[in-house]
Amino acid sequence: MLDKDVLKAKIKMQTTVRDWYIIKIFDNNARVGQLLWGFIVDDPTGRFSPGDYVCTSSIEEISKNVIITAKGSQYITEGTGKEFKALFSEIELLRRGYSPSQVTRLRNNTDIIKTIDFS
């Protein structure tokens, strides 16, 4: 019988996401990369549970409804996604689970951002 971790490593990560966004990252008005942000539908590797959010590493390739990241993970997108332009300084918020719409609201109230602990 295979060790559980070895079995997980053999399963190619093809996580399915819904309500997803392509996050286009800007720094000093130049686009520096893009990420995928969305909610988990299914993850055969068991890294995520349905309903969890995911904010990926940099996108390397987008082909139809499959997105491949710099770390080699594959994400299958369900439905129509949206585009969101984020400042480089806002990426940490997205990685901590803030949605693009929440980041937009925070942009309008910079005092809130000052109270968020990023440590």
Q: Quick check: 113 pLDDT over 70?
A: no
Q: Quick check: 36 pLDDT over 60?
A: yes
Q: Quick check: 17 pLDDT over 70?
A: yes
Does 16 fall in a domain? yes
Cα–Cα distance for residue pair 23/70, rounded to 1 Å: 15
Does 119 fall in a domain? no
Region 103-116: mean pLDDT is: 71
pLDDT per position as a tens digit, 41-57: 999 988 899 999 999 99
For 27, the domain range is: 4-114
Strands 14-27 and 66-69: unpaired
Does 75 fall in a domain? yes
What's the domain count of the chain?
1
Does 18 fall in a domain? yes
DSSP of 51-116, one letter per residue? Answer: T-EEE-S-EEEEETTEEEETT--EEEE-S--EEEEEEGGGHHHHHTT--HHHHHHHHT-HHHHHT-
Q: Quick check: 18 pLDDT over 90?
A: yes
- Two tokens, residue 77: 């997108």
pTM equals: 0.80
